[in-house]
Amino acid sequence: HFMGVIDTAGINAFEYRELEGKVGQFLYIFGDDFTFATSATPPINNAPILAPIGNPVTDENMQLSVPLTASDSDDGDTVSFSMSAVPAGALFYDYGDGTAEFIWLPDFSQSGSYLVTVTVSDSAIPAATDSETITITVNDVNRPPVLSTIGNKAVDESTELSILLTASDPDGNNLRFVKSGGPTAATLIDHGDSTATFSWTPNFGQAGDYPVTFSVTDDGVPVASGQETITVSVIDPLVDITPPVITLLGITPVAIEAGTTYVDDGATALDNLDGDISASIMPTSTVDSTNAGSYTVTYNVIDTAGNVAVPVVRTVNVTAPVGSLQFSSSNYTVAENGITATITVTRVGGSFGTVGVGYASSDGTATAGTDYTAVIGSLSFADGVTSQSFSITILDDVDYEGDETLNLVLSNPAGGAGSSSTSTSLLRIIEDDVQADDGITGESSSGSIDLITLILLFSLYLRNFRTKNVRS
C-alpha cells in the first residue's frame, strides 16, 4: 500500500505513474483534502531456492570444502548467503553471484559433530529466505605413537646390555611394546607407563651383529604403531676395536706475537690395551710464527690394532707485535727557569693495537710543590702510534740549592704492552742561581748577574781587600 499527500495549490490536474519495473495491477483511489491512496494486491515475492547441501563428513587435519548455490525466480532479485554456528577456524565466502563456499581444515582436537545453518536471502523488501541446517561430522584420526630414537648398541660378551625404551602418543592413547628378531634369550619388559626395558647378557662365543626391531602400538581406532630396527653388536673382549683418546696439554687457543718462537705444549694419548702411547702421536702444524694469522696444530695417533683416534686440534693465533713502552731517555735535564719539562715515552718493538701506560713523579733531591709540580696520569697509544709525552711544571726560586733531581716511573702497561729497563728515568733541574763567596746568592737571568748581585759582590770584594791590607 502507498499513502501520500499532493499539494494541488495552483493546479487542477496531476499525473501518477508507476515506477519502471513494477508489475501487477494497481487501483488508484483519490480523496478530498488533497490525499490519495492506492490499494491493490502486491506482487508475490518468490523466495530464493537454496540447492540441497547434505551432511558433509571429513577427517581431522583434512580440508573440507562445501560449495553452495542458490537461485531466485523473480527478475531483478539478488541473493546473499549467511551461516550460523561457524566452527572455529572455518571460513565462509559469499561470492556475490549466487554461489558461496564453506572451507574448513579441522585440527586434531576438533573431532565431533557440528550443527550449522546456511541461509540464503533475496534482495526484495521484505526479503524472502531459504535455509538448511546441516550436520558436519569430523572423524577422529588416530595418530601413531612416537618411539624415542634408540640407535645401535654394542656390548662385550658376558656383559649385560640394558636399553630403556620410551614412547609417547599425541592422542594420549595407551601404549604397548613388542620386539621381533634378535637373540632368543633377550627379554623385553613393558612397564605399562609408556616405557619398556630390553635386557640381554650375551654368552662367550656369541660375538656378532644381531638386528632387533622394537615396535610400540596404541589402542586407538584404527590401531597405529611406530618402530625402529637397531643392530646389537656383541664384541669379543679380546678383539681391540676401541680407538685411543688424545688429550691436549696446555690451552687452546694460544696467542703469540709474530717474530717469537712458538713452543707447542703437546698432548697425551691413552689406549685401552696399549696404555700410554703419547710418544706415537703424530702432530701436524701449520704455524708460521713470522706472519700474523690463525694457525692449527693437529694431533693424531693409531694404536697397535689399527684403531685411529679422533683428531684433536689446537689453535695458534699469531698477532703483530704490540711493543714495549719506555722513556725516551734515562736522564732528562731542564733549567730551573725552564717553566716546563717535556717527557717523551716511546713505543718500541711493535705498534699493533691500542696500548697504554701510567706515569708518575716522586721526590729525589727536588721537592714537589717547591721545586716542581708533582704529576700522575696515563698515556694512550693508538694503533700505529709510537710516541707520546707529558709535561712537568718547574717552580723557579731565588735560593741557590744546586742541581736537584726527581724520579719518573712508568707503571701498569695495558693492552698487552710490555715495559723495558727504561721504565724509570731521572729529571735533573739545573740550578740557575749564583752562589756568592759568603754564601749570598743571586739569580742569573739568561746567564747574566743582576745589579743587586753585582753590588753585593763588589761590597764583599772591598771588605776582603781592606782586611788583606790591614793584615799586611
* SS3 letters across 309-347: CCCEEEEEEEECCCCEEEECCCEEEEECCCCEEEEEEEE
Q: Render pLDDT for 281-338 as a digit per residue (tens, 0 to 9).
A: 999 999 999 888 999 999 999 999 899 999 999 999 998 888 899 999 999 999 988 7
Comparing CA positions, the residue from 312, 116, 147, 296 lying closest to residue 213 is 147
Reported residue count of the chain is 472
Q: Which residue has the cell 508475490?
A: 44
Lowest mean pLDDT among 80-94, 163-177, 222-236: 222-236
117: part of which helix (H) or strand (E)? strand 112-122
The more confident residue out of 463 and 420 is 420
Q: Render pLDDT for 182-224 as a digit per residue (tens, 0 to 9).
A: 898 999 999 999 999 999 999 988 889 999 999 999 998 888 8
Name the residue ranges covered by the structural domains of the chain.
2-39, 49-139, 146-235, 245-285+296-308, 324-431
The more confident residue out of 211 and 463 is 211
Local confidence band at 350 (pLDDT 50, 70, 90 cut-offs): confident
Same topology for domains 49-139 and 324-431, yes or no?
A: yes
Say which residues have a Cβ less than 8 Å from residue 344's Cβ, sequence separation at least 6.
327, 328, 329, 387, 388, 389
User: Does residue 349 register a pLDDT over 90?
Assistant: no
- CATH code reported for the domain at 49-139: 2.60.40.10
Looking at domain 146-235, its CATH class is: mainly beta
User: Does residue 449 register a pLDDT over 70?
Assistant: no
Q: Render pLDDT for 381-431 as a digit per residue (tens, 0 to 9).
A: 999 999 999 999 999 887 888 899 999 999 999 988 877 667 899 999 998
Interval 242-271 mean pLDDT: 94
Mean pLDDT of the chain: 86
Beta-strand pair 35-39/2-5:
antiparallel
The more confident residue out of 131 and 125 is 131
Looking at domain 324-431, its CATH class is: mainly beta
Q: Which pLDDT does position 471 carry in this prediction?
A: 37
Beta-strand pair 424-430/331-335:
parallel
Residues β-bridged to residue 162: 199
